[in-house]
Amino acid sequence: MQTDSSFTFVLFGGTGDLSMRKILPALYEAHRAGMLAASGKIVAVARHEEDRAGYLQWVNEHVKAHVAKSGIDENAWASFVDRIEYVKLDLGKAEDFVKLRDALQDHAGTRVFYLATGPSLFVPICHALASVGLNENARIVLEKPLGYDLRSSNAINDAVGEIFAEEQIYRIDHYLGKEPVQNLLALRFGNALFEPLWRREWVESIQITIAEELGVEARGDFYDNTGALRDMVQNHLLQLLSIVAMEPPHSMDSDSVRDEKLRVLRALKPIDPRDISKVAVRGQYHAGVIRGTSVPAYATESGVKTDSATETFVALKVEIENWRWAGVPFFLRTGKRLADRVAEIVVNFRAVPHSALGASALRAGANRLVIRLQPNETIRLYCLAKKPGEGMNLSSVHLDLAFDQFFKEGQMEAYQRLLLDVINGRLALFVRRDEQEAAWKWVEPILNEWAASGKPKPYAAGTWGPAAASAMLAQHGTCWLEEEN
């Protein structure tokens, strides 16, 4: 389906890594699929001394490698780059924004300003856009991290909110655009099978994991002032939690969905600072081996302080104080330099109350739903079945929904879906300000306690994090999925 109308997509940070790896490849895929209005334009903005030809050469060198497995269609690529213009802009020069306004004057339709920059530049860019009247008939996309804590997040939101109305602001979280997350909503609210079971009477526990094999790479300076709790938990993990736990919305319009997510975030049980050691584990990777390659300790990475107390791993036990989920533990986990790259949601259903078929039918995890977000996107339902042969011997089997095998249409990448939603004015998959505030309020006691206490627990790169993360689940009679397997 093509975008609703003409647009101009203005990309601040147009030569940056995010633009090259994610944003421009996603726009190319949308273009190749015929999803962009023919009159739509892309205006890249950066401070590099380039003309349009020089910028397009940069795009050719840095974007093509990040296009999906299907590769480049040269005809589609040629028509795609025809959409692209380049404006050199110095944020400190008001006359450069006049130049940007003049460059956009002949472009019809909605304007989208995507700020693929550091958060310290969000407010100056917004003020400069307003100074030349470019905040009208416009949408603005803000990348994470949006602030360092609740206070700084509110400061950014207040400043941006003076210039753009809330319905013009798109706070992007790319995990919300992933196909399995969308299918989780379809699975729950489109089928009579799951929704009656999606509650405390039938769910034993839920795990949400985002694990990375990579370290901090070239982002040591940024990461050492951020840490895993700010970088991953406050946004990605809590957003996934709210999708998993939300009540059925009235409809799929933007405010109905986000209202229900907000109710979950506000129902999170506050963490008493005295109990943080029992429900929160933080770790930092030391040297180790991943897939046969030795990797250094976090403290020796470029840009990282040698005595750093920044966490690269977090595991949390979370409770939701409402009727549906009272007493059900949600275990959240994220980390760098772990044993595998995986993002998944695991719903462990309760065992049957009595079994005439033997003890295997009573074991935890006999019935389980695993929603894999990466690297391969699948939904797998585990249940027990009788093994062939004599006797009533049970074995775990699974039913698969592998999207790339079941659906012949090409899958849409998360950024592609989200960018199309921005262009078309659909807000449901973007974070509203009150959601963000609720997440920061819940996270801050942990941040404050960790800032005042000792260093994170060490773990070897290539493992699944500190042993304390496993011990936390063992106290509840369960384990992380990979430990069971």
| Residues known to be catalytic | 236
Q: How far apart are CA 368 and CA 206, in angstroms?
A: 10
Contact between residue 56 and residue 25 where contact means Cβ atoms under 8 Å apart: no
Strands 457-460 and 280-286: parallel
CB atoms within 10 A of CB 66: 15
Crossing angle of the two packed helices 238-245 and 179-189, in degrees rounded to 10: 20
The residues pairing with 141 across neighbouring beta strands, listed in sequence order, are 114, 170
Residues 179/210/344/354 CA torsion (nearest 10 deg): -150
Residues 153/156/158/161 CA torsion (nearest 10 deg): -120
Contact between residue 201 and residue 325 where contact means Cβ atoms under 8 Å apart: no
SS3 321: coil
CA distances for 122 relative to 8, 143, 156, 412, angstroms: 19, 9, 8, 28
Q: What is the DSSP string of 362-408?
A: GSTTSSEEEEEEESS-EEEEEEEEEPSSSS--EEEEEEEEEHHHH--
SS3 440: helix
Strands 138-142 and 169-171: parallel
Residue 191 CA, chain-centre distance (Å), reads 26
Q: Which of 170, 166, 252 has its CA nearest to residue 422?
A: 170
Alpha helices (H) in 229-283, listed in sequence order: 238-245, 254-266, 276-279
Crossing angle of the two packed helices 122-131 and 150-161, in degrees rounded to 10: 10
